[in-house]
């Protein structure tokens, strides 16, 4: 199942669309909190602060877009307000676990160095995904004539991918090889997530 085949049915149904926006908001918030949690209080940089601030804004902005889908509000991230709640919550944590395990085994990293390297690789993989997902979603919104729009997120996500690449280049000359491993883990988790979304949409 491909996401672009699911999106028109999600957007066409206001209740589903509200939950979809809330689910993206949850995932942005999870990412934002992970970046903040991995910050070193002493050596945190301009780029990391900017990135955390923008991911927190994405979570808020998506939550605010829910108003445009009608009266169906999604007050919190409780499971009844989400699509595929289990997979949506599991995705980022699982990616973090898999990437951290790889870094421990392949590069023998631990402590602070492990936290920073995991931030770099996990965030890189997510930015690659974001740069694919949001334009596909925006196209589906345009096709449906929806009032919801995510153009400001697309602009910022493009900047994030460039920033992650420049940080990765400083981290290791073999950065591309490590990054590909993170992308492979992410692809499997993302496909599971999309299948879980599709499963929820089959009418009971
Ligand atoms: Fe984001
Ligand atoms: Fe981002």
Report the alpha-carbon angle 100-179-153, nearest 5.
Answer: 100
Q: Do the Cβ atoms of 175 and 155 come closer than 8 Å?
A: no
Q: Do the Cβ atoms of 148 and 69 come closer than 8 Å?
A: yes
Q: Do the Cβ atoms of 31 and 126 come closer than 8 Å?
A: yes
The model's pTM is: 0.95
Neighbours of ion ligand 1 (CB under 5 A): 28, 55, 58
Q: Do the Cβ atoms of 148 and 65 come closer than 8 Å?
A: yes
Q: How far is the CA of 203 from the centre of ligand 1 (A)?
A: 31
Of all residues in the chain, the percent with pLDDT exceeding 90 is: 93
Q: How far is the CA of 159 from the centre of ligand 2 (A)?
A: 8
Q: Which ligand is nearest to the CA of 150?
A: 1
pLDDT band per the 50, 70, 90 thresholds, residue 204:
very low
User: Cα separation of 167 and 67, whole Å?
Assistant: 37
Confidence at residue 149, expressed as pLDDT on a 0 to 100 scale? 96
CB atoms within 10 A of CB 95: 24
Report the alpha-carbon angle 62-148-48, nearest 5.
Answer: 35
Three-state SS at 3: helix
């Amino acid at each position: 199942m491909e996401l672009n085949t699911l999106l028109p049915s999600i957007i066409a149904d206001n209740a589903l669309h509200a939950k979809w926006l809330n689910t993206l908001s949850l995932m942005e918030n999870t990412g934002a909190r992970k970046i903040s949690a991995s910050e070193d209080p002493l050596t945190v940089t301009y780029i990391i602060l900017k990135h955390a601030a923008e991911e927190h804004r994405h979570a808020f902005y998506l939550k605010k877009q829910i108003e445009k889908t009608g009266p169906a509000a999604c007050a919190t991230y409780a499971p009844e307000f989400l699509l595929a709640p289990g997979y949506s919550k599991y995705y980022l944590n699982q990616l973090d676990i898999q990437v951290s395990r790889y870094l421990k085994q392949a590069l023998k990293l631990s402590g602070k160095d492990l936290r920073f390297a995991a931030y770099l690789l996990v965030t890189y993989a997510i930015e690659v995904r974001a740069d694919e997902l949001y334009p596909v979603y925006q196209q589906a919104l345009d096709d449906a004539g929806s009032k919801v729009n995510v153009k400001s997120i697309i602009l910022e996500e493009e900047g994030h991918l460039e920033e992650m690449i420049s940080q990765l280049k400083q981290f290791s000359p073999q950065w591309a090889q490590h990054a590909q491993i993170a992308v492979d883990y992410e692809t499997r988790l993302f496909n599971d997530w999309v299948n879980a979304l599709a499963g929820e949409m089959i009418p009971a």
